[in-house]
Structure 1
């Protein structure tokens, strides 16, 4: 998926990545462009590193990290033109199915905290666990297995938030009272 610049297709899919020199680690796709697949993870990675990534709805891919910037890293898929064209079609189809609008410019830096499991409480009092994809001073991305309506107020750990978007198996929620940017770090707890 390398080559000339083109459109960016936002698609959020969980992934498990590994290689013989490192333990398995979780990542989540962020978008796909002609430059490659951008993922996010709390793992410390290096450009040039080869990985095997199993991405939900896509399958297992052999990739090489081409760029690393903070929690984000871009991978190029190893394979012939037919393989790359087929993957591009799969990603575009999944991006459309997730019904994303163009991603707005974000005012706050997002991180993946070390503590990824969080308790979520609905307005009705029902509580269940969720998986934190990322968090910023203004909001949070969560993988959950329950239906929660857009506009619904929820409690994420000790923080009140309003659901602002849906994606496959998850939600985006904006904190009712934003965090101080200095409170957003890998060791944070919600």
Structure 2
């Protein structure tokens, strides 16, 4: 079973009796601990005091080190971490992190850049294709579309997944075959 990961970026100052103060930044929190990043050379098993902005001073033990990332377990165990989790989740929501889907397919710019967009209401309007992949499409549009709204791009059903200036990114409800994505494709 994997833990739910909450991304939250907060500055931290950490130290112990054997090392000078060093700066770190939180990356995320799970039931397994708090992941931070720092340029300091650290070792698993090391005890630290970390003062994390908006959270407070915590006594922690490093449980894992990977490059510049390190995971700490808060002294007091899971009950203490669970108590802190509400604070971290509230701060994560305030930072408005939305998880960007990981791109699993290459993107192309098709030769045919005009597409007809159809809303569930039947209203149609033109869109300009910026790029397309087997899993989705980026379009410039003049209409305001809601996140999660179902649209049709040509004959392909898609769900609006993100907004950017003057456009949207939409995920196809049924991905295309990767071989079907090429410069001469039409939607």
Deviation digits for residues 118-143 of structure 1, max 9, x if unmatched?
xxxxxxxxxxxxxxxxxxxxxxxxxx
Matches within 5 A, 1:60-99: 60-99=57-96
From 42, 45, 49, the counterpart of 1:52: 49
Is the aligned partner of 1:41 residue 2:46?
no
SS in 1 for 2:92: helix
Aligned partner of 1:30 in structure 2 is 27
Q: Aligned in 2, Cα 1:62/1:7: closer, same or farther, shift over 3 Å?
A: same
**Stretches of structure 1 lacking an aligned partner (at least 5 in a row):** 107-163, 165-190
Instruction: Measure how far apart 1:7 and its partner are.
Output: 0.9
Aligned partner of 1:140 in structure 2 is none
Q: Aligned in 2, Cα 1:59/1:73: closer, same or farther, shift over 3 Å?
A: same
The runs of 4+ residues in structure 1 deviating greater than 4 Å are 103-106
Q: Aligned in 2, Cα 1:34/1:82: closer, same or farther, shift over 3 Å?
A: closer
How does the TM-score come out when normalised to structure 1?
0.51
**Stretches of structure 2 lacking an aligned partner (at least 5 in a row):** 104-163, 165-187
Structure label with greater radius of gyration: 2
Paired residues of 2:24 and 2:38 also in contact (CA < 8 A): yes
Paired residues of 2:28 and 2:35 also in contact (CA < 8 A): yes
Cα root mean square deviation, aligned: 1.9
Within 1, Cα distance between the matches of 2:100 and 2:20? 32
Paired residues of 2:44 and 2:65 also in contact (CA < 8 A): yes
Paired residues of 2:14 and 2:23 also in contact (CA < 8 A): yes
Paired residues of 1:49 and 1:65 also in contact (CA < 8 A): yes
